[in-house]
Structure 1
Amino acid sequence: MVIKLDNVGLIRDGKWILDSIDWQVKRGEHWAIVGLNGSGKSALLHLLSAFHFPARGEVEVLGRKFGRDVLGDELRQDIGLVSQTLQDRFFNEDSAYQIVLSGGLASIGLYETPTDEMREKAKSLLKVMGAFEYANRSFYTLSQGERQRVMIARALMNDPKLLILDEPTNGLDFIAKEALLDRVEAISTLTEAPTILYVTHHIDEILPTFSHVLLLKEGSVYKKGERCDILNESLLSQFFDLQVELTFQNDRPYIRKK
Structure 2
Amino acid sequence: MASVLQLSDVSVVRDGNPILTSVNWTVEGDERWVILGPNGAGKTTMLQVAAALIHPSSGTARILSDTLGSVDVFDLRPRIGFASTAMARRIPGQERVLDVVLTAAYSVVGRWNESYEDIDVRRAQRVLAEWKLGHLEDRRFGDLSDGEQKRVQIARAVMTDPELLLLDEPAASLDLGAREELLQLLSGYASAPGAPAIVMVTHHVEEIPLGFDRALLLANGAITAAGPIGEVITSEKLSETFGRPLQVTEDEGRFSARAALS
Normalising by structure 2, we get a TM-score of: 0.94
Paired with 1:222 and 1:172, the residues of 2 have a C-alpha distance of: 28
Q: Which residue of 1 aligns with 2:102?
A: 101
Identical amino acids, percent of aligned pairs? 34
Q: Aligned-pair distance for 1:207?
A: 2.3
Q: CA RMSD in A?
A: 1.2
Alignment match, 1:163: 165
Number of the residue aligned with 2:29? 27
State the number of aligned residues: 257
Separation in structure 2 between the aligned mates of residue 106 and residue 55 of structure 1, nearest angstrom: 25
Where do 5+ consecutive residues of structure 1 fail to align?
none
- 2:20 alignment partner in structure 1: 18
Q: Provide Cα deviations, 1:69-112, integer angstroms capped at 9, x if missing partner.
A: x2221111110100111111111111111111111222212222
Amino acid at match of 1:195: A
Cα shift at 1:250: 2.5
| Structure 2 partner of 1:193 | 195
Q: CA deviation at 1:50?
A: 2.0
Tell me the equivalent position of 2:179: 177
Of stretches 124-133 and 236-245 in structure 1, the one that deviates more from structure 2 is 236-245
SS across alignment from 1:223: strand
CA distance in 2, matches of 1:190, 1:103: 21
Moved over 4 A (4+): none
Residue 58 (structure 1) shift: 1.3
Kept in 1, the 8 Å contact 2:208–2:254? The answer is yes
Cα distance between partner residues in 1 of 2:191 and 2:4: 18
Residue 208 of structure 1: how far off its partner (Å): 2.7
Q: Is the 8 A contact 1:82 1:165 kept in 2?
A: yes
SS of residue matched to 1:198: strand
Q: Which residue identity lines up with residue 106 of structure 1 in the other structure?
A: S
TM-score, with normalisation over the residues of structure 1? 0.96
CA-to-partner distance for each residue in 1:161-200, whole Å, 9 max, x for gaps?
Answer: 0110000111111111111111111211233111110001
> Paired residue for 2:231, among 229, 232, 239?
229
**One-letter amino acid matched to 2:105:** G
How far off is 1:51 after superposition? Answer: 2.1
1:67–1:98 Cα change, 3 Å: closer
Query: What is the alpha-carbon distance in structure 2 between the residues aligned to residue 82 and residue 185 of structure 1?
Result: 16
Counterpart secondary structure, 2:91: coil
